[in-house]
């Protein structure tokens, strides 16, 4: 099956935001090819290694939050503040 790799990358970047811990670290339990593409795009540090998490770059942190809110944010959340 063919699929849009950019859409997959965007979804994974959004989910990395969901798993953020220690400021910029996120669990890297996603498809290796997608993680490598995110690294090549400058959103995360090199995912290759024994660590179970990666560090999001400044651009990655900003874009992951934007993607997370775009995909999973609720419109009524603004009204609840």
Question: Considering only CA atoms, which of 31, 33, 28, 23 is closest in space to residue 57?
Answer: 23
Please, which pLDDT band fits residue 78 given cuts at 50, 70 and 90?
A: low
- pLDDT tens digits, one per residue of 35-44: 999 999 999 9
Question: Considering only CA atoms, which of 5, 51, 4, 6 is closest in space to residue 24?
Answer: 51
pLDDT at position 75 is: 79
Find out whether 67 and 14 touch, Cβ atoms under 8 Å.
yes
Find out whether 52 and 19 touch, Cβ atoms under 8 Å.
no
Question: Which ranges of 1-81 does DSSP label H, i.e. alpha helix?
Answer: 5-18, 32-40, 58-72
pLDDT at position 79 is: 58
- pLDDT tens digits, one per residue of 18-61: 999 999 999 999 999 999 999 999 999 999 999 999 999 999 99
Predicted model pTM:
0.85
| Mean pLDDT, range 11-20, rounded to an integer | 96
Half-sphere exposure of 17 (CA within 13 A, CB side): 22
């Amino acid at each position: 099956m063919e699929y849009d790799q950019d859409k997959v990358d965007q979804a994974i970047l959004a989910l990395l935001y969901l798993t953020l811990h220690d400021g910029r670290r996120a669990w890297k339990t996603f498809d290796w090819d997608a993680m490598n593409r995110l690294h090549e795009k400058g959103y995360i540090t090199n995912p290759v290694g024994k660590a179970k998490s990666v560090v999001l770059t400044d651009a990655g942190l900003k874009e992951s939050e934007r993607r997370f809110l775009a995909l999973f944010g609720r419109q009524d959340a603004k009204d609840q503040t």
